[in-house]
Chain A
Amino acid sequence: MPTETPRKQFQSPKKPKQSPNNVKSQSSTPSIHLSPQTPQLPLRRSSRRSLQLFTSKTVDEMLDLSTPRKALEALDGIGKCSGNNRKGSSVRTPRTLKCKFNEEDREIPEMGKVGEGNGEVEDVFCPVSPEALESKKRKKGLSEEGSVKMGKSPKCKLNEDLGKLGEGNGDVVSPEKRKKGLRNEESVKTRKSLRCKLSEEEMEIPDLGKLGDATFFPVSPQALESKKRKKGGEKRAVTRAMATRSLKKVNKEEKKGRKRVYYKKVVYDGGEFEVGDDVYVKRREDASSDDEVPEMEECRVCFKVGRGVMIECDDCLGGFHLKCLTPPLKEVPDGDWVCGFCQARKLGKDVEFPKPPEGKKRVRTLREKLLASDLWAARIESLWKEVDGSYWLRGRWYIIPEETASGRQPHNLKRELYRTNDFADIEMESIIRHCNVMSPKEYAKANDQGDDVFLCEYEYDIQWHSFKRLAEIDNDEDGECANGDEDWNSCKEDDSDTDEDMEYEEENERNAHARPSTTHQLAANSRKGRFFGIQKVGTKMIPEHVRCHKQTELERAKATLLLATLPKSLPCRNKEMEEITTFVKGAICDDQCLGRCLYIHGVPGTGKTMSVLAVMRNIKSEVDAGSIRPYCFVEVNGLKLAAPENIYTVIYEALTGHRVSWKKALQLLNERFSDGKKIAKGDDRPCILLIDELDLLVTRNQSVLYNILDWPTKPHSKLIVIGIANTMDLPEKLLPRISSRMGIQRLCFGPYNYQQLQEIISSRLKGIDAFEKQAVEFASRKVAAISGDARRALEICRRAAEIADYNMKNQISSVNSSTVKDVVTMADVDAAIQEMFQAPHVQVMKSCSKLSKIFLTAMVYELYKTGMGETTFEKLAMTFSCLCTSNGEAFPGWDTLLKVGDDVAFALKDSKDLPWLAKYL
C-alpha cells in the first residue's frame, strides 16, 4: 500500500536542508525582507518559511542596534514587545478581560524569559519608529473589544487558542518530518520561540503598511480577505482601525450585508485560511497553560534542539540526534527505524526514557498534543463574517484513532487521522495554525513538509462508528455547485443542503422541523429519499489486509491494469481527441453558438467514451481557468435508460434539477431549445449533450432521435449533441430526415492495432517490472488480430498476471524454492488467451462419459449420412445401437440413452478415447 512508501522516502539519505551551507544561505535571504520599505513583499508563506531557518545570531544582531539596517529590522521587535506589554498590561486591565489575558499569559511564557531584553528593545525603539508605537498603543486600547468577542463564542471549549502565533510557525517549523533539522549552533528554546515571533512580526508589519491598497478586498467574495490579528484582540483591533481609516468600502460592505458574508479565503492573523484547509483548533479553555509551542522537536536523549541530523522513530515518533544514539549512527538508515527504547519495550522490558534535565520541561509540539487529544484538528468547510464582524468558520472535525469506537487498530499509522461527519461552527479565534492533512498519495510524496503532516484516508461516521474511504475526487460537489459561480452565497447553501444528511448532531440541536419526523419512512432505494441512509454503509474496522500488506510487483501490475483505474495518459487517441476538442471548442466558443452534432462510431473497447470524457475534462479545466465561457455538460447512456423516452426526463433533470414525467420534460425541453424560451439564468449557456449507445434510442417511429437531433438545428438552441454508437452506418439505417441531421460530421475510432495496444499496456505498466516484453507483445498481437479491443488486451494481461501470481504463491507454499520469478511469461499470457478465447467444448468432451461419446459420434455419423441439419432421437437411437452392436459394446437401453442425450446436448465434437469412433466421422 502507498503508506509504506513515505517512510522510505523520509529516510533516503539526501536531504537538501542538511548541509550547513544551505542554512547559511537561506538565513541570509530573509534579512532583505525585513525592512518595511521593501515595497513588494513576496509571498508571505515563503518568507516565513525561510525565516524559520534563521540563526539565533540574527536575533542577537537585531537586539544590538549598531547598524541602521538593523534598526529597521528592529521594528519587528515591536510585535514582540507588545507581547510583553500585554503581559504587563494584563495586570492593569479590568477584570472582564481576565480570562482573555490568562490565555495570553499562557501563550507567552517563552517570551517571559526574554522579557527584560524586550523591554529594553522597546525603549530603544520607540523613537525610531513612532508609527509602529502608535499602532501598538492602538492595539492596547482596543484589546478589550477583541476579548469581549471571545466571550461570544458558542462553544466555549473552542473559544481560545493558545498559540495565535499565526499559522506560519507550525507549518514550516521543522524543515523535515524525519530529520528534525540541523542547526549549526545550539539554540535555546526560548530564543527560538522569540525568533519565530520575530519572524512573524516581521511579515506582519510591512503588511500593515500596505494593507489598505493591496490585500484588503473583502467586497469580492473570492478576493482574499485580509484581516490581521495578533495576540487575540489587539492586533485585530489595529487592523480594524486601519481598515476603517483607509477603506471606507469596508463599512459600506458591512452595512449593505447585514447578514453573513461568505468568503473563500480569509487572511487572519497572518495566515491565509481557505475553504478546504486544515487547521489545529484549541480544545478547551483550561488546557494546560504552561505549554509553549516549540517550533522544533527536541532530541529525546539530550533535550536540545539542533546540532545535527535527527531521526524519527517509526514507533513513538520521537526525534533523536544521530549522535545521541547508542551506538551513534552515521547516516539515516533505509527502511523502518525504531529507536532503542521502543525496541526494548517490544521485547517486554520496562524502559524509561531519559529524564529531562532539572528545571527544563519537555515541551510538546502541536502534533504531539493533537495525537494525545489535547488539541483538535478540523477542516474548514466554509468561512464567513458574522453581522458583528467576527469571523467564523464551519469546521469538520478530524479525530485520532484512539477516539473512535474501535480504538487504535494495530495497522493505524502514527500520524493517522480520521475525518468525521461531525461539523461545528468555530470562531476564527480558536484556530492555532495550519496543519497538513493529506491523502495517502500526497502523504507518500510529502517528505519535507514539517512536523504537522497527517494522513487521512478514511471518513469516520460518529453515528454508526464505521469507516469509509474518502472518495478520491472529493470536489464532486464543488464541481456541481460551481454552476452558480455568480453567487457564492447561495451556492454555499446548496452545499450544506447536500451535506444535510450527515449533520445529525446539528439537527438534533435545532430539533429540526425539516427531516427527523419523516426519516424512518424514507426508503433507501427511492430517489425521494435521496438514497437515505446510504452513508451508514461502512466498515466497523478497517480491514487489516488493506494496510499491512506490501504490494508485490505483480499485484501492482494487476492494480494498474484494472479497467477501473484511470490511466495517467491516454495514448494513441491524440488525433481523435484533437478533433473532438476542436469540434466542441468551435461550437461553444462561437459567439453565435450554433447547434452542432457529432457522430462517433467504433467497435467496443476503442476508447470512444473515454476520449470524449477526457476532452470534456480538459475543457472544463480551461473553463475554470477562465479562458472559455461556462457551459453545461449532460451525459446520457442509452443502455441505462429504462425506455428511450426517459431520456427527456434525464436531460431535463440534469439541466434543471427537477424531475418530471417524460412528456412534460419533452415539452419543457422543446420550449427551451426550439422556441428559445429561457427561464432560468443559466439557460443561455451552451449545452453539450453526450449520448452513449445512441442506437438504443431508436424507436419504431424514431421520434426520440428526431427530436433530439432536431434541436441543434434551431437558431437559439445552443445545443451540441455528441452521439456514440458501435455501428458505422447507423445514420444510413435511420429515416432520411434523421440521417440528414446527424450524419454530417462523423468520427471513426478504428480498432487498435498491435503497436497501439502494446503502447497502451506498457504505458500503464511504466515503472513496474512484472511483464516480459514479448509477453505484452504477444497479448497485443493476439487481441489486435481478433478484435482490437483495448479492454480485452488489458484483461488478458491482468489475467496473465493473476495466473502468474497464483502459480507463484502455490509454489512458495509447496516448495520453498527461491527460483520462482515473479514475472509474467509467455506461457501465462497464452493460458489467459486460451481461457478467454477458446471455447471449452473440447475439454468437456474429453472428459465426458463413454456413452456420451458414442452418442455424439452417432449424431455426427447420422448427420453426415443424411446430409440434414437435424435428426430425431429415434433415428439416432437406431444408429447408436448399430454402432454398439457392430463394435461389441453393450447397448444401454432407450431410457438411459435418452438421459445421456440430455447430458450431451450442449457438446458438439468428439475425442479419441474409443478408437473405433474415428472411422464413423
Chain B
Amino acid sequence: MGREKEKEKPSEKALNLLRSRLSDPNFIFRPLSDSPDSNYSKLKFIISTSVTEACNNSILLLGPRGSGKVAVLELVLSDLLQQYPEAISVIRLNGLLHSDDNCALKEIARQLCMEHQLLFSKVASFDDNSQFMIAMLRECGLAHKTIIFVLDEFDFFAQGKQRLLYSLLDAMQSVNSQAVVIGVSCRLDVDQLLEKRVRSRFSHRKLLFLSPSKEDTERFMEHILSLPMDSSLPHNYAAEFNGRLKKILSDERFKELIDTYLSFNFTIGHLVRFLFQAVSYMDLNAGFLSLGNFKTALSSNQRQLKLESIRDCSVLELYMMVCMKRLEVKEQTSYNFYSVMTEYKSIHDSFQTSDYYAANVCLRAFEHLLQCQLISFIDNKGHNQSVEFRPVKLLISSAELHQGLKSYQQCPAILLKLMDR
C-alpha cells in the first residue's frame, strides 16, 4: 500500500504541474517570444521605444480568437513594468463594457485617479473628464511617464462618432504627451471602421497574430508536456515520463491525430485546451501519458452532439421530428403542436403505422424535444400561451436528421421512407 501511495504521488504532482502550466499564459507564450520575428519582441520594441524616446504610438493587434493577442500583450506589459517600474501606467478598457464614449472617459479618469492616488468624482461631466485626461497626458509626459491605453475589443470603440478615440489621438499629436494606444481586435478590417479624421491621426502599427507553424506546434507541445528534471519530482520518474512522451510525439499515429485536430482548429488557445483535456485523461495509476489519452480527447472533441441526442430520442419523438420536416418541405414555415399532430395523424391514417399514441402522450414527447433543444419556439412572444399553441421550429437540418435516423437502431423503416419523400 505504502509503496503504491509513493508511486501515486509523483504522478499526481506531475498532473498538477502540467495543468497549472496549461492554464498559465505566461508559460505558454514565453518560449514563442524569444525570436526577433515574434510578435512579442516587435510589440515590446514598439512600446519600449515609446517609453524611452518619448513618442506616441498607436498599435492594432489583430488575429483570430485564441491566438494569444492579449496574452502576449500582458507578457510585454508585465516585462516593461518590471523594467520601468515608475514610468508606465496602464489603462485597460474593454469595448464590450465601455463602448459608450462618456462611460469610457469616466473609466479612464477613474483608473488614472487610482493610478496616481487622486480623488475621483463620479459626477464629473464628459467635458471635465476629457480635460482631465488631456491634462494628465500632459503632466505625465512632463514627468516622463507613459500612459498605455489597452482597448480590448477595439471594433466596439470604432462605432458612432468615435469621440473617445478622436480626443485621445488628437491629444497625442498635439500636447507633449507620451502615450500608447493599443487596440486589440479580431476584426481584420478594424482600421477601415475608423472615421476618416480618426484614421488620419492613428499611426497604424499593425501586428498580426497568426497560428504557429507545424514545427512550432511540435516544439511547443514538447516544451509544455515534458517534466522538468530538476524539480521535486523523482528523477527516475521524470526521465521515464519524458522518454515515453518523446515516443508518443514521434509516433506517426499521434501526428495524424494532431493533424486532424488542427485541421479544424488551428490556434494556440485551441491547442492548449486540447492538451489540457488529454492530460486530464491521464491514468494516475500508470502515471504516464499514453496515446490513448490523446485519442479520447480528440474523440470527445469531435462528438456530434445533435446526432447523439437523436440517438437518445424515443420513436414517437422521431415521428414528430419527421412530421415537422415534412411540414417544412411542404413550405409551411410556421407550425405548432397541433399542426404537427395533424400531420402525424395523416401519416398514421395513410400508412397505418403501429405507433399511434394519444395527444397527451405526444405532448409530453413534444415537451421533451423542447428540453433537448432539438426544437425551439420561434419567438419569445406569447409566454402566457400554453406550449401547444406556440409556433416552433426545428433546430436540426434534414441531412442531419436523416443521418440520425439511419444510425438509430430500432428506427421504423417507414420513417426513413417518409424522410426520402
Which A residues are closer than 8 A to B by beta carbons? 466-472, 520-527, 529, 531-543, 545-546, 549, 555, 558-559, 562-564, 603-605, 637, 639-642, 646, 650, 693, 696, 726, 787, 789, 791-792, 795, 798-799, 802, 805-806, 809-810, 814, 835-836, 839-841, 843-844, 847-852, 874, 877-878, 881, 890, 892-896, 899-900, 903, 906-907
Q: Which residues of B contact A877 (CB under 8 A)?
A: 397, 399
Residue B204 contacts which of A532, A637, A836, A843 (CB distance < 8 angstroms)? A836
25 inter-chain pairs at a CB distance below 8 angstroms, sorted by A residue, are A467-B143, A469-B143, A521-B119, A526-B124, A531-B135, A534-B132, A537-B139, A539-B86, A543-B144, A555-B53, A558-B49, A559-B54, A563-B201, A639-B166, A639-B167, A726-B196, A787-B200, A836-B204, A841-B188, A849-B264, A849-B265, A874-B397, A900-B264, A900-B265, A903-B64
Docked-complex contact B176 and A564, CB < 8 angstroms = yes
Task: Give Cα A836 to B56, complex, Å.
Answer: 17
A524-B118, A531-B135, A640-B163 known; A906-B143 Cβ under 8 A: no
Docked-complex contact B124 and A523, CB < 8 angstroms = yes
Docked-complex contact A522 and B119, CB < 8 angstroms = yes
Docked-complex contact B399 and A646, CB < 8 angstroms = no
Within B264-279, which residues are at the interface with A (CB < 8 Å)?
Answer: 264-266
Within B60-107, which residues are at the interface with A (CB < 8 Å)?
Answer: 62-65, 84, 86-87, 102
Q: Which residues of A contact B196 (CB under 8 A)?
A: 603-604, 726
Docked-complex contact A693 and B197, CB < 8 angstroms = yes
Q: Which residues of A contact B203 (CB under 8 A)?
A: 563, 795, 798-799
Docked-complex contact B206 and A539, CB < 8 angstroms = no
State whether the Cβ of B113 lies closer than 8 Å to any Cβ in chain A: yes
Closest chain B CB from A600 CB (angstroms): 14
Docked-complex contact A640 and B167, CB < 8 angstroms = yes
Docked-complex contact B265 and A537, CB < 8 angstroms = no
Q: Which residues of B contact A806 (CB under 8 A)?
A: 36, 42, 45
State whether the Cβ of B342 lies closer than 8 Å to any Cβ in chain A: no
Task: Give Cα A524 to B399, complex, Å.
Answer: 64
Within B100-130, which residues are at the interface with A (CB < 8 Å)?
Answer: 102, 109, 112-113, 116, 118-121, 123-130
Closest chain A CB from B255 CB (angstroms): 14
A540-B86, A543-B84, A844-B64 known; A533-B118 Cβ under 8 A: yes
Docked-complex contact B302 and A893, CB < 8 angstroms = yes
Q: Which residues of A contact B302 (CB under 8 A)?
A: 892-893, 896
Task: Give Cα A618 to B201, complex, Å.
Answer: 26
A537-B139, A852-B266 known; A564-B175 Cβ under 8 A: yes
Docked-complex contact A564 and B197, CB < 8 angstroms = no
Q: Which residues of A contact B361 (CB under 8 A)?
A: none
Task: Give Cα A900 to B267, complex, Å.
Answer: 12
Closest chain A CB from B258 CB (angstroms): 12
Docked-complex contact B263 and A849, CB < 8 angstroms = yes
Docked-complex contact B102 and A523, CB < 8 angstroms = no
Closest chain B CB from A801 CB (angstroms): 10
A564-B173, A843-B208, A878-B399 known; A792-B187 Cβ under 8 A: no
Q: Which residues of A contact B405 (CB under 8 A)?
A: none
Q: Which residues of B contact A471 (CB under 8 A)?
A: 138, 142, 176
A639-B166, A835-B206, A849-B263 known; A468-B143 Cβ under 8 A: yes
Task: Give Cα A894 to B405, complex, Å.
Answer: 15
Within B34-70, which residues are at the interface with A (CB < 8 Å)?
Answer: 36, 42, 45-46, 49, 51-56, 62-65
Further contacts, 8 of them, CB under 8 A, given A563-B201, A792-B204, A874-B397: A471-B142, A522-B119, A527-B124, A537-B145, A564-B176, A802-B49, A835-B205, A906-B186
A543-B87, A642-B102 known; A789-B200 Cβ under 8 A: yes
Docked-complex contact B211 and A847, CB < 8 angstroms = yes
- Nearest-CB residue, chain B, relative to A902: B65
State whether the Cβ of B222 lies closer than 8 Å to any Cβ in chain A: no
Q: Which residues of A contact B143 (CB under 8 A)?
A: 466-469, 537-539
Q: Which residues of A contact B126 (CB under 8 A)?
A: 642
The list of the 6 closest CB pairs from A to B, nearest first, reads A523-B121, A849-B266, A524-B118, A604-B200, A642-B126, A563-B173
Residue A525 contacts which of B55, B129, B197, B200 (CB distance < 8 angstroms)? B129
Task: Give Cα A792 to B194, complex, Å.
Answer: 14
Within B164-188, which residues are at the interface with A (CB < 8 Å)?
Answer: 166-167, 170, 172-177, 186-188
Q: Which residues of A contact B263 (CB under 8 A)?
A: 849-851, 892
Docked-complex contact A637 and B188, CB < 8 angstroms = no
Task: Give Cα A839 to B123, complex, Å.
Answer: 42
Closest chain B CB from A834 CB (angstroms): 10
A540-B86, A849-B262 known; A844-B119 Cβ under 8 A: no
- Nearest-CB residue, chain A, relative to B56: A564
- Nearest-CB residue, chain B, relative to A790: B200
State whether the Cβ of B9 lies closer than 8 Å to any Cβ in chain A: no
Q: Which residues of B contact A522 (CB under 8 A)?
A: 119
Docked-complex contact A542 and B123, CB < 8 angstroms = no
Docked-complex contact A534 and B139, CB < 8 angstroms = yes
State whether the Cβ of B331 lies closer than 8 Å to any Cβ in chain A: no
A525-B120, A895-B306 known; A563-B56 Cβ under 8 A: yes
State whether the Cβ of B20 lies closer than 8 Å to any Cβ in chain A: no
